[in-house]
Every structure is written in structure tokens, then in C-alpha cells.
Amino acid sequence: MDTTAIIVTIVGLGLVAFVLWYFFFSARQAASAVSSSSGVQEVAITVKGGYSPDIIEVEKGKPVQLSFYRNEENSCSEELLMPDFSIRRDLPAFKTTLVELLPEKAGTFPFTCGMGMLRGSLVVK
């Protein structure tokens, strides 16, 4: 192995480590729902290459209103799936789509795009 090969190997392994850390192990931010005057827990979520925020904490037993604003045209994010609540919704680009649900059980319920690539989760406490 010459010097270039050694450099390439080290850089490559470094990149591998970075990819693994970045996508799997780095810390994520959670956001809590804000209860409106009427007792509905409201959360605004922007959809652009992912969901921000992507971890949403809500309380059990109170109605939840998620407003998804899809800020892109990319087809990956055009569908929203919340299988635990039997919700499949089209998210029109540059529009807000309201999704209402009632969390009756505590737990972590993932939501994804139509193909399961973009991910977020609803944490019910």
C-alpha cells in the first residue's frame, strides 16, 4: 500500500464512522405539543426532506391536531403514514394539511412517508 492508499483508507473509514454516527447515534430534538385554549394539543410540523420537529411529545387522552406544512415538491414526502392511527394522507406541496387523532395509549408511534424513508415519531405520555 502506498501513501495515497493509506490516506484513502483512513478517510474512508472516517466517513463510515461519520455516516453511522450522523444517521443513527446523534442526538435528536424532541418537541412537546402546545395545548390550545380549547384543550387540543397542537403541533406544527414542517415537511422538507424530513419532519421538523420529528419527535413530538403529547399527552394521552387529549385530542391532538398535527398541522403538516409541506415546504417542498419532492415526491418522497407527498404521503404521510401513521399506521397506528390508520392514517394515510396526501400532503399537497406548499400547503398545510391537518391531521387529527386521539392518542388513547401511551407509547411511541412512528410516522413515516409513503415509503418509510422519512421518519418521525409521536411519543404519547
Residues forming the site for other proteins (CB under 8 A): 1-2, 5, 8-9, 12-13, 15-16, 19-20, 22-24, 26, 28, 37-40, 48-52, 54, 62-63, 72-76, 78, 81-90, 92-93, 112-119
* DSSP bridge partners of 69: 46, 96
Beta-strand ranges (E) seen in 1-125 are 30-32, 34-35, 41-47, 51-52, 55-58, 64-70, 79-82, 87-90, 96-101, 107-113, 119-124
Minimum Å gap between C-beta 68 and other proteins is 14
Minimum Å gap between C-beta 114 and other proteins is 7
Considering beta carbons, is residue 32 or 76 the nearer one to other proteins?
A: 76
